[in-house]
Structure 1
Amino acid sequence: MDVPELLRRAACHVPAAATGEAGTTVADANEYLDHDEWEIALDILVELGDAYSSEIAFWDLLAEAARMMWLSRTERWCRWRRFEIVHGVVRADLQLVDPGIADGRRTPIPGDGRLRPLWDIGDMTAAGDADLYVARIWVESQPDLQPGGRAVVRLAPLAPGRWRRLAAGDVITMHEQGPVAGTATIVESVFPVDDDHKP
């Protein structure tokens, strides 16, 4: 299957009434496809994917099209959104510690889901220590998060079932070594109702 066919198949999943933030519709995406403007059509479809209840197949088609176009960040985003459909969405307002503090991060956090720090979400081990869980980070609206910076992030937990009890307003901490590397306040926590609830 070539790129235009992948994009046209993805476009078939989008309701005609769905509109993106810029007011674009699936008709706009199809028009760009008619003029061989594949990257613009892909961008529109990605934006539309957040405007309606998109499906796994939609994101799979877009991820494959992005892969074939060598658009690695877009491909990772489509795979990220697929993960969220299956496992749920966790968004948080993350404040990194000041880089001047001992063990504070001195390099930016890559914003495209590659960093996998540990998180204290309030669980304890049998020994009474904080039980830490791995979750990848996607930084919204910017390519990375600078040391000491603040941004809304999306989290992809390795064990999503353990995070189901979190709700907006809950505070969790990020750890890369021993000390706290950042503090995050949950702003959205939505899990699929058909999830098996297993950690």
Structure 2
Amino acid sequence: MDTTELLRRAAGLVPDDARSGAGFGAADVHDCLRQDDWEFALDILEDFGGVRWQTVEYWELLEEAARQLFLHRKVAWCQWRGWETRHGIIRADLRLVAPEAGGRRTPVPGEGQLRPMWALGRSVAGGRGDLHVARIWVEFAPALEPGGQGSVRLAPLVPPNWRHLAPGDSITMHERSPVAGTATITEVQQPRPASARRRK
């Protein structure tokens, strides 16, 4: 399947009343495709927020289109969004501990490579924090600099262990002792049932 057809099929899955973050809809995608502007069409399609109507198929179509266009960060982003479609969205504001205070001395890479441990505010036997692994996607930047602060998305290794979190909750990031950062949850969207994520 060529890039145009991949993007056309993805546009066909967009509800008529859906709008991207910039206010575009499926009709604008079709306009781009008539002009062979595949990258802008992809930009529109990946800019629809949430997980309420997207399907796994939708993100797989966009992932393959990005791969054909050699847009490697977009390939990774579409894979990430496909994961969120299955498991839900967790966004947070992460503040890293400064290097001089014992924090990491290298940037947090932006595309989900880093998999630190997180204390979710619960205790286990012996009084130690309950630690869970989650990957980090840095939003709006290619990386988060040492001691920096920014918006991130989290992909837990075991999503059900994170279901209790809500906006305003605070969790801590751990790579080694001491704490590497503190994150405040800003958004949580639970996944739809598996049957609802399939194409109708």
| TM-score under structure 1 length normalisation | 0.91
Where does residue 161 of structure 2 map in the other structure? 162
What RMSD in Å do the two structures reach over aligned CA positions?
1.7
Partner of 2:42: 42
| 8 A contact 1:25–1:48 mirrored in 2 | no
- Retained in 1: the 8 A contact 2:117–2:175? yes
C-alpha spacing 1:173/1:53, structure 2 compared with 1 (3 Å): same
**Structure 2 counterpart of 1:120:** 119
Q: Distance in 1 between matches of 2:33 and 2:82?
A: 23
Q: How does 1:49-88 map to 2 (within 5 A)?
A: 50=50, 53-88=53-88
Question: Residue type of the partner of 2:64?
Answer: E
Report what 1:4 is aligned to: 4
How far apart are residue 149 of structure 1 and its match? 0.7
Q: Is the 8 A contact 2:124 2:130 kept in 1?
A: yes
Structure 2 vs 1, CA of residues 160 and 50 (structure 1 numbering), >3 Å: closer, same or farther?
Answer: closer
Aligned residue type for 1:155: L
Q: Mark the runs of 5 or more structure 1 residues left unpaired by the alignment.
A: none
Q: Which moved more, 1:71-80 or 1:127-136?
A: 127-136
Higher RCO structure (Cα 8 Å, ≥6 apart)? 2
Indicate if the aligned counterparts of 1:19 and 1:51 stay in contact, CA closer than 8 A: no
Q: Do 1:173 and 1:184's aligned partners in 2 also have CA atoms closer than 8 Å?
A: yes
> Number of paired residues?
194
The letter for the 2-side match of 1:79 is Q
TM-aligned CA deviation for residue 124 of structure 1: 3.1
Judged with a 3 Å threshold, the aligned counterparts in structure 2 of structure 1 residues 114 and 48 are, in CA distance, closer, same or farther, namely: same
How far, CA to CA, are the matches of 1:136 and 1:78 in structure 2? 15
TM-score by length of 2: 0.90
Aligned to 2:94: 94
Q: Which residue of 1 aligns with 2:137?
A: 138
